Amino acid sequence: MKKSTLRRVLQVLFRHKLLLIIAIIASIIQVVSTLLIPIVVADGIDSLIGPANVNFNELNKIIIYVAILGLLQAGFGYLMQYLMAYITNVTIKDIRDSLFKKIDKLPISYIDSHQEGDILMRIIGDADTLGDGMQQALTNLISGVITIVLTLTFMMVVSYQVGLIVVCLTPISLFAAYFIAKMSYKTFRKQAQIKGLLSAHYNETFNMLKIVKSYNYEATAFKKEEEINKELYKVGVKAQFLSALVNPTTRLINSLVYASVGIYGSLRALSGLITPGDLTVFLNYAQSYTKPFNDISQVMTELQNSLASAKRIFEIIDELEYDYVVKEELGEVEGNVTFNNVYFSYLPTKPLIENFNLEVKKGSKVAIVGPTGAGKTTIINLLMRFYEVNKGEILIDNKNIKDISIKELRDNVGMVLQDTWTFNGSIKENISYGVLSATNEDIIKAAKEAYADSFISRLSNSYDTVLDKQTNLSEGQRQLLCIARLMLKKPPILILDEATSNIDTRTEVLVQKAFSKLMEGRTSFVIAHRLKTIIDADKIIVLNKGHVVEVGTHKELLTKGGFYKEIYEAQFLKVN
């Protein structure tokens, strides 16, 4: 699996293969320039023939050569570093874009079954970790490998005996780095998972901070955080220890390589087989050869951390999307909706909706009532294709919603939910969300229809007021903005899930009048907990445990004296 992850990371990198090739060429020129400097300097040392006997003409040339090689080394080194940084950042940008697009295509069931904090950790934290590892791999690993190969080649040319000594000792360093890196991968993977849990806990706690405080849950929340953090501490110490173990181990082995080259070269110099300048070349090459191993060994452990994060990223990218096959156009919607023998359950072992049948004529107002957990919201989730039916079909104007595009379906359905939803942006942007072509006049008209214009006009910047945590709007006012959003869209099919629950009684009466006007000629589904809001519905569907137990108007259902009457009397009749 790890190799597969590495291969996929490389595939993403190779999208920028031209820049990679240029960076590798720049790195080769930089390394060659670096390796030529000791040879030139060796000639300079050998030109120091003895006391008061120096070949200054040769020495001056050598100084110029060293200066030129130094400039080449610095210039191409800078170019290589810049290209590697650019490739890394643009690659991580592409990965984040892919993640965001993927999440947008995943079914709501995936989001519901995963913690938001963990998903955010993968998009932000794991992507950053992968970027850090890629940056080191591209700079230290590539330049290190090039340095090792070219240095060994130069060594063989200068003295094959020295090259053989180095070749014989090198596998020890490689084995040590590989062995420790292999052990660290599992640890880094577990560390990434625990970070996701901790991020999810922080996200949940901060989002519900008022609830945490009102229930005096701080101590319990802190205890849970402490337990997760303690586990992260234990795993983190182990991961960092393994990471830190590689460098001193390879340094020890590389010091043996350097010492062996130094001893052998010194013996040859004392025997007169090589010059003092040649000895400095050997020692410089031995140092140039061993240094990349220290860098590469450190990169290998960091790479394990990055691969662990990459695996978590690819887990999202590999999630199955719905196969949205568009077979026909929805066209102009009249608003006829039919549920035929629909079966659905969130969990295979717990059936919820069974053999659900419902026929709604265009322009009808249908209310869905029932106790908590009866399946009211589930019906709406299926109609919006937030979830897919397990069996059966849902039709709009006799067209199966599975055969039309998701975008076309949701363009023709508007929702106002019990929970208010506004985002950081101006009030104007919040109302026109999803209707980008709306003019200022359209937005103001929609706000007036939702009875939101009066409080908006009193704000410091009116419709340009930016909504954030500092903007002091009540839940009721935010709900009116959500209603204004629906008033602006005016789709042929409406879904109202206790849309006026957060609004004061006086404003609710006004908004209900506006809704009544909006519903004229449109098919409306109203999920109601307070039965007074659906007394005038054309049809009331009473659900219980996923089944339709009663259907009729308000008067018809009261006359039947069944389950609906029990709910109604529980809300409106006083117990003596």
Cα of 268 vs its chain's centroid, Å: 60
Q: Specify if 177 maps to a domain.
A: yes
Quick: pLDDT tens for 48-77: 555 555 556 766 777 787 788 888 888 888
Task: Give, for 470, the enclosing helix (H) or strand (E).
Answer: none
pLDDT given for residue 1 in this prediction: 43
> Model confidence at 47, in pLDDT bands (50, 70, 90)?
low
CB atoms within 10 A of CB 231: 15
Same domain, 183 and 293: yes
Q: Are 28 and 98 within one domain?
A: yes
Q: Which whole-number Å values give the CA distances from 466 to 432, 462, 489, in the listed order?
A: 14, 9, 21
Q: DSSP letter string over 391-429?
A: EEEEEETTEEGGGS-HHHHHHTEEEE-SS----SEEHHH
Residue 539: pLDDT above 70? yes
Mean pLDDT, residues 436-443: 84
The one-letter amino acid at 48: L
254 lies in the same domain as 393 = no
Q: Residue 567: its pLDDT value, please?
A: 79
CATH number of the domain where residue 201 is located: 1.20.1560.10
Q: What is the pLDDT of residue 575?
A: 44
Q: How far is CA 439 from the centre of its chain?
A: 34
Residues 307 and 360 in one domain: no
Mean pLDDT along residues 451-455 = 84
Beta strands in 465-573 (DSSP E): 466-467, 493-497, 523-527, 539-544, 547-552
* Mean pLDDT on 385-391: 85
Contact partners, residue 377, CB within 8 Å, separation at least 6: 497, 527
pLDDT tens for 269-279 read 666 666 666 66
Element (H, E) at 48: strand 48-50
Q: How distant, in Å, are the alpha carbons of 306, 422, 539, 564 from that of 334?
A: 53, 30, 18, 30
- pTM for the complete prediction? 0.64
In a domain, 325, yes or no: no
- Look up the domain containing 210 and give its range: 2-317
Please, which pLDDT band fits residue 2 given cuts at 50, 70 and 90? very low
CA 566 to chain CA centroid, Å, is 48
217-244 pLDDT tens trace: 777 777 887 788 788 878 877 777 766 6
Q: Which of residues 364 and 260 earns the better pLDDT score?
A: 364
Partners of 356 in beta bridges: 342
The domain total for the chain is: 2
Is the pLDDT at 429 greater than 70? The verdict is yes
- Do residues 487 and 549 share a domain? yes
**Cα 126–130–134 angle (5° rounding)?**
170
Round to whole Å and give the CA distance between 400 and 381: 15
Same domain, 6 and 35: yes
Q: What does the mean pLDDT of the chain come to? A: 78
Cα Rg, the chain, nearest whole Å:
35
For residue 160, the Cα-to-chain-centroid distance in whole angstroms is 52
Q: Are residues 358 and 246 in the same domain?
A: no
Residue 86 domain-assigned? yes
Highest mean pLDDT of the ranges 144-158, 185-199, 249-263, 526-540: 526-540
Structure tokens at 500: 């006026």
Give a yes or no: residue 543 inside a domain: yes
Q: Which of 289, 317, 345 is where one domain is finished?
A: 317
Quick one: pLDDT at residue 572? 67
Question: pLDDT value at position 243?
Answer: 66
Quote the CA–CA distance of 463 and 425 in Å, as a whole number.
11
User: In this predicted structure, what is the pLDDT of residue 507?
Assistant: 73
Confidence of residue 169 (pLDDT cuts 50, 70, 90): low
Beta-strand relationship, 523-527 and 493-497:
parallel
